[in-house]
Amino acid sequence: MAAAVALARPLRRLPCYPSRRHAVSTPLHFFARGRCDLALAVAPAAVGDSSAKGSVHRHVIEEVVDILDMAQMASQRRDVFHTSFLTPPIIKEAMLAIEKLADIKAVAQGGYPQAERCRISVGHPDSMRSNPDVVAALSISGNFRLEPCSHGDFLGAILGAGITREKVGDILLQGERGAQVIVDPELVDYLTSTLEKVGKVGISCTQIPLLAIEYEPPRTKSSKTVESSLRVDAVASAGFKISRTKLGSMMSSGDVRVNWSVVTKSGATLKAGDVVSVSGLGRLKIGEIETTKRGKYVVQLIQYL
């Protein structure tokens, strides 16, 4: 039992190198004094264009530099290291940065094709002949017909068992049946023996194969808008069909995110590939952007239903 509890706690930031093939929690503070020059040079270059527009936050760049440090160490030692679960913007920028490094292979895995939260495995190509086994799936089942539970309820139950957020991937709701949850494999035994309730509902928690994960490809609806600028308030208000004043108020309340980071300034600009999410309204992706002869922007909007 003591060992299981230890696994549920965050990894300690020890002043030593990670052990062979073990997960490494980012940020990697024990690399701070010896951070490699290559990582410091590659990360800002990889995210430079987007960071200049304010769409890549400082904490994302710092996380990417930490992951590059880990990649360099893995390559030098011809070993394989793994991050904890990362958010989409960190995954995107880290994979772009790692592409610029020689003799390093990287694989992002979240358990199923559309996974948002993933773990990145990095190492020398000779050490990564196949994808590492770094994610596991749990089925949390119970009678949720009379007591429906939200994503936050399931996450809260897991965190309440002493698990840190970085050890948990996506949570796929299954209505009155419960949910499927992606986790660090080291926590499977602990959670299946410890988790007993979600909200007021008694549950059973069992491991399932990754192939048993039930997910649906996202349904989308495309549209176009013509705007005089690419400001968040202009484009997003058109996409969600609300007034710019209403969206501005929601931004001030912290209810608007761009690439999973809160945005409070309406003057921030968007680019193709950015994802805008608004609490209670959903999410949309910015598609192709064309400029008319009159200087207007024709923006393709892809809304997730």
Mean pLDDT of the chain: 82
Q: Which residues contact 283 (CB under 8 A, 6 or more apart)?
A: 275, 276, 277, 303, 304
pLDDT of residue 220: 87
| Lowest pLDDT segment from 80-84, 244-248, 279-283 | 279-283
98-123 pLDDT per residue, tens: 988 888 999 999 999 989 999 999 99
DSSP string, 42-69: HHHHHHHHHHHTT-S-HHHHHHHHHHHH
pLDDT of residue 288: 95
Angstrom distance (rounded) from CA 104 to CA 75: 6
pLDDT of residue 42: 52
- Average pLDDT on 201-210 reads 96
pLDDT of residue 61: 87
- Confidence bin at 60 (pLDDT 50/70/90): confident
- Average pLDDT on 165-178 reads 94
pLDDT of residue 219: 80
- Confidence bin at 55 (pLDDT 50/70/90): very low
| Lowest pLDDT segment from 44-53, 75-84, 152-161, 225-234 | 44-53
pLDDT of residue 260: 80
pLDDT of residue 19: 37
- Confidence bin at 305 (pLDDT 50/70/90): confident
Between 90 and 267, where is the model more confident? 90
- CA distances (Å), 274 to each of 89, 92, 214, 300, in order? 10, 11, 27, 11
Q: Does 51 score more than 50 pLDDT? A: no
Q: Does 213 score more than 60 pLDDT? A: yes
6-43 pLDDT per residue, tens: 443 333 332 233 333 444 444 333 333 344 554 554 55
| Lowest pLDDT segment from 45-49, 147-151, 165-169, 252-256 | 45-49
pLDDT of residue 244: 92
Share of residues in the chain with pLDDT > 70 (%): 81
CA geometry: angle at 77 spanning 72 and 83, to 5°?
Answer: 55
pLDDT of residue 143: 92
pLDDT of residue 16: 32
Q: Which residues contact 47 (CB under 8 A, 6 or more apart)?
A: 56, 60, 61, 64, 93, 96, 97
Three-state DSSP class for 160? helix
